[in-house]
Amino acid sequence: MLRPSDHIDSEQAAASDDATMGRLGFVGWSRWIWRQLTSMRTALILLLLLAIAAIPGSIVPQRTSDPNGVSQYFADNPDLAPWLDRLQFFDVYASVWFSAIYLLLFISLVGCVLPRSKHHWDALRAAPPVTPHNLSRLPSHLTARMSGQEAETVMSAAHRLLRRERYRVRRYDTADRLTVSAERGYMRETGNLVFHIALVGILIAVGLGGGFSYTGQRVVVEGQAFTNSLLAYDTFNPGRFFRDRDLVPFSITLDKFSTRYEERNVNAVGQPIDYKAEVTTQVRDQAALQQVIKVNAPLDIGGTNVYLLGNGYAPSLTVRDPSGNIVYQETVPFLPQDRNLTSVGVVKLPDGLAKQVGLIGFFYPTVSEGHSGAFFSMYPDLIDPLVTLNVYVGDLGLNDGVARSVYALDTSRMTKLTGTKTDLKSLELRPGQSAALPNDLGTVTFDGVKRFASLDVHHDPTQGWVLAFALAAVAGLLTSLFIPRRRVWVSVRKVRGGVVVEYAGLARGDDPTLSAALARIASAHGSDLGLVRD
Amino acid sequence: MTDTLSQFSVLSLYSAMAIYAIAFILFTFDLARGGGREASAAGASDSIVQATGEGRTATLTRVRVDAPSSKPGRRPLARIAMALAWLGFVFQLTATILRGIAASRVPWANMYEFAMTGTLIIMLVFLLVNLKWDLKFVGAFSTGLVLLLLGLSATRYYVEVVPLPPALQSYWLVIHVFVATLGTGFFALGFALSLAQLLQTRREYRAVEAKPTRLAWMSRLPDSAQLENYAYRLIIIGFIFWTFTLIAGAVWAEKAWGRYWGWDTKEVWTFIIWTIYAGYIHARSTRGWRGTRSAVLAMVGFGSVMFNFTVVNIYFKGLHAYSGLS
């Protein structure tokens, strides 16, 4: 085993580095730096640095996993946040410093693993080493006197025994003694190398996967369909090497979305128990299929996975002008705000009415009224639904070319006509009911409510590879930690009236059972020779 | 029915805690009396095989011995404490199983249940390892830690039995979380042994310098090198389980959340813990790091496991929001 110079089992470096450092040229310096980088100590420190560097990402919200948290952090800490941002604390795991640590760690790892692999490859085909002169100096050692035995008989019995015990063996006889040198547990080093190479494999697969993968989110209301194309997604995050034609042509129709809530357990009334999206899927040129998507049970379609990550209510609203002409008729997904699915949604009416009108709606699937008169939802299922609408008029801000979220209404250039701090109550509508918009703008009708599912579409061509490498790493870890690598020597010397047999063992790496194993070999050797225990 | 069973579960758990408390006191007294193995007289038995046959004789003589042989000393307190630890374990096992039956699922779906099962495993690992090695001196630590965690979870984290939310309805809950508790059990014992190793190292230095020490009660415990070997053997098993937890978690995350790794706070800490223990394993084979430094790493590692279970669960925002506390 070719180990870094500061490995506990390697020989102490003979020459001191410091003595020659003054006269090092470029090559010498490079070699020195490389040796430092691939030393155990450096790898260890990089490993611990990696652990420390990962901590901030669990304390400060991260853009990748919690973008809203980042915005909130900026709002809460206006002085600190920009500084943290400059130090990449909101993107810790893609930051220069985090990347630098793990890249150095992996360079160090490769620099260690490559020469060791070469060395191990040679060792796998080499014979066990020559028997040391003085076996009694080895850490594990036993001696036996056997009377009336021939040296060669005793030796060949030991040779056979060690081969049976799956040792690699080689005889080294000299004039005064017969010896056999044996080694086993080569799998320990193989496992060690497999583990470390598999880690490099994981890193590469994850890196490539990030480039070729994509994720897209789409909200689908019951009865709606969407096709797997860039235009269909509400949000879409492609990897660096993503091309449009990587999108497998398929379509998904949400036929029905059903939920089940706990009704009997008083400690958990209203807790969701089951979400089920029944869909019709169709890959281009193939027959349509009826399928189900559930939480923990994604849909696999054309090598792409579709996950059910959220759901909510989508009230159907119709707005008519004063003469009764329909200017708006949509089923609008409202975003859930709490566990009883009080939901908020927005309707924007840029054209068709006398002025631009915006509606901010609240939806309560089972409405109840609090002491202050404010509504809230007391149960997530549809038992007594109600929509309330706050009406705004003015400039919706749709004409200045800035992209606006469909879930938010910019009220900075609008006037509030109904709701708190106005003279009029919010419009309150139950299914089928209509109400007049203030200032004779028209009417709004709550036609009914459907459910929506928010689907995540995720394609990652390398995640199978990541799993394979991870499993290889576990296999490598198991063999490298639990298979003992050890050398055993047996020597037989002729003495008057018989022979003296010496058994010696040397652990290569951690080996708590070495002396027990040596004792077992000695004992078995005795039995093989017909020496019976008392 | 559910309520009755979960009440019996709580009753059984409180009984277990009372028994552990007595065991803890006895273990502590045993330690104060210099608990630990009684070292056998040197050279008691060197020959391993005495063989004769057909007039030929052979004697195998062990020249150097790796580990000092030991025989159990007379330690009535420790033995009673050990028996109580087993009894407490049986009560806790009953409590855990009743909770599982009451909920009709595995009893580790929220913080209270996870603490109950996790400490059960910590006790189980302690008890089983003692069948192999005499580590009764860790008993005070194991029962103390389990008592502390059970007390904390019974008073602060207790929640009534509620059904599983859709996100937890997966067989990966059974695998991923249980393997995590197994890893925790081994890391806990590794922590105790590393702590003992540090104290023992200190005592050994004081003894060499012939200075007085307040750690004299440790003189009959295994020496620091032996303690380190024990700790290492246990921690590598914990590390395997932790690696498996990480992988099983990633597979489940892919199924439930649509990505196998997303640097969620709990994922981050699982990764940090894995990295620290990977560091521990490397430290053991790095010159200048074996011994005290690697023991410190083992202790930092288990500190992080506890941090991950308490602070990260309750105060950090993330997807693993299953404490059941609101």
- Which of B66, B232, B310 would you mutate first to test chain A, the one with the most A CBs within 10 A? B66
How distant is the Cα of A183 from the closest Cα of chain B, in angstroms? 20
Q: Are residues B178 and B216 in the same domain?
A: yes
Given B119, B149, B164, the domain boundary residue is B164
Q: Are residues B143 and B181 in the same domain?
A: no
**Per-residue pLDDT at B51:** 41
C-beta separation of B72 from B133 below 8 A:
no
| Region of poorest pLDDT, from A492-501, B293-302, B317-326 | B317-326
**Per-residue pLDDT at A12:** 56
Packing angle of the helix pair A463-482, A186-212 (nearest 10 deg): 160
Chain A hits for B50, CB-CB cut-off 8 Å, are 533-534
Sign of the Cα torsion A111, A114, A120, A122 reads negative
- Which of B3, B6, B45, B60 would you mutate first to test chain A, the one with the most A CBs within 10 A? B60
C-beta separation of B211 from B106 below 8 A:
no
pLDDT tens digit sequence for A183-238: 999 999 999 999 999 999 999 999 888 889 999 999 999 999 999 988 889 889 88
Percent of chain A clearing pLDDT 70 (strictly above): 96
Q: Are residues B134 and B179 in the same domain?
A: no
In a domain, B44, yes or no: no
In a domain, B286, yes or no: yes
Strands A225-227 and A386-394: unpaired
Q: Are residues B131 and B229 in the same domain?
A: no
How many domains does one find in chain B?
Answer: 2
Domain that holds residue B269: 171-326
In a domain, B300, yes or no: yes
Q: What is the largest CA-CA distance in chain A?
A: 126
- Short-list A484, A127, A455, A515, CA closest to A301: A455
β-partners of residue A326 are A320
**Per-residue pLDDT at A486:** 93
Q: Are residues B148 and B242 in the same domain?
A: no
∠ CA A407-A413-A418, nearest 5°, is 70
Q: State which residue of chain A sits closest to B59, comparing Cα positions.
A: A144
Report the C-alpha gap between A323 and A342 in whole angstroms. Answer: 33
Report the C-alpha gap between A341 and B230 in whole angstroms. Answer: 54
pLDDT tens digit sequence for A10-22: 765 444 444 455 5
C-beta separation of A70 from A97 below 8 A:
no
pLDDT tens digit sequence for A94-144: 999 999 999 999 999 999 899 999 999 999 999 999 999 999 899 899 999
Q: Are residues B198 and B214 in the same domain?
A: yes
**Per-residue pLDDT at B35:** 60
Q: Are residues B246 and B160 in the same domain?
A: no
Please, what is the average pLDDT of chain A? Answer: 89
Given B164, B192, B213, the domain boundary residue is B164
| Non-local CB neighbours of A24 within 8 Å, separated by 6+ positions | A32
Whether B140 shows a pLDDT value over 60: the answer reads: yes
**Per-residue pLDDT at B48:** 43
In a domain, B65, yes or no: no
Q: What are the structure tokens assigned to B58, written together?
A: 């052979």
Top pLDDT among B41 and A493 is at: A493
In a domain, B120, yes or no: yes
Q: Are residues B139 and B155 in the same domain?
A: yes
Note whether A47 contacts B282, CB cutoff 8 Å.
yes
Does residue B317 come out as left (phi exceeding 0), alpha (psi in the -120 to 50 range) or beta? beta
Q: Are residues B158 and B193 in the same domain?
A: no
Q: State which residue of chain B sits closest to A263, comparing Cα positions.
A: B163
| Non-local CB neighbours of B238 within 8 Å, separated by 6+ positions | B182, B183, B184, B185, B186, B187, B190, B277
Whether B44 shows a pLDDT value over 70: the answer reads: no
**DSSP character for A439?**
G
| Non-local CB neighbours of B289 within 8 Å, separated by 6+ positions | A41, A44, B282, B283
> Hey, is the C-beta of A262 within 8 angstroms of any chain B C-beta?
yes
Report the C-alpha gap between B89 and A208 in whole angstroms. Answer: 49
Q: Are residues B151 and B182 in the same domain?
A: no
Q: Are residues B107 and B158 in the same domain?
A: yes
A residues 147..176 contacting B (CB < 8 A): 147-149
- Integer angstrom CA distances of residue A525 from A51, A389, B66, B95, B251: 50, 92, 21, 52, 49
Q: Which residue from A51, A93, A275 is facing B263, i.e. has the nearest CB?
A: A93
Q: Are residues B139 and B220 in the same domain?
A: no
Given B144, B164, B184, the domain boundary residue is B164
Q: What is the largest CA-CA distance in chain B?
A: 82
Note whether A44 contacts B57, CB cutoff 8 Å.
no
> Hey, is the C-beta of B261 within 8 angstroms of any chain A C-beta?
yes
- Integer angstrom CA distances of residue A441 from A20, A56, A225, A415, A417: 90, 53, 33, 14, 11
In a domain, B61, yes or no: no
In a domain, B192, yes or no: yes
| Non-local CB neighbours of A519 within 8 Å, separated by 6+ positions | A142, B48, B49, B60, B62
In a domain, B51, yes or no: no
Does residue A398 come out as left (phi exceeding 0), alpha (psi in the -120 to 50 range) or beta? alpha
B residues 150..209 contacting A (CB < 8 A): 159-167, 169-170, 172
Q: Which residue from A40, A50, A470 is facing B282, i.e. has the nearest CB?
A: A40
A residues 220..249 contacting B (CB < 8 A): none
Mean pLDDT of B25-44: 65
- Phi, psi dihedrals of residue A180, rounded to the nearest 5°: -130, 135
Top pLDDT among A260 and B219 is at: A260
Packing angle of the helix pair A96-124, A186-212 (nearest 10 deg): 140
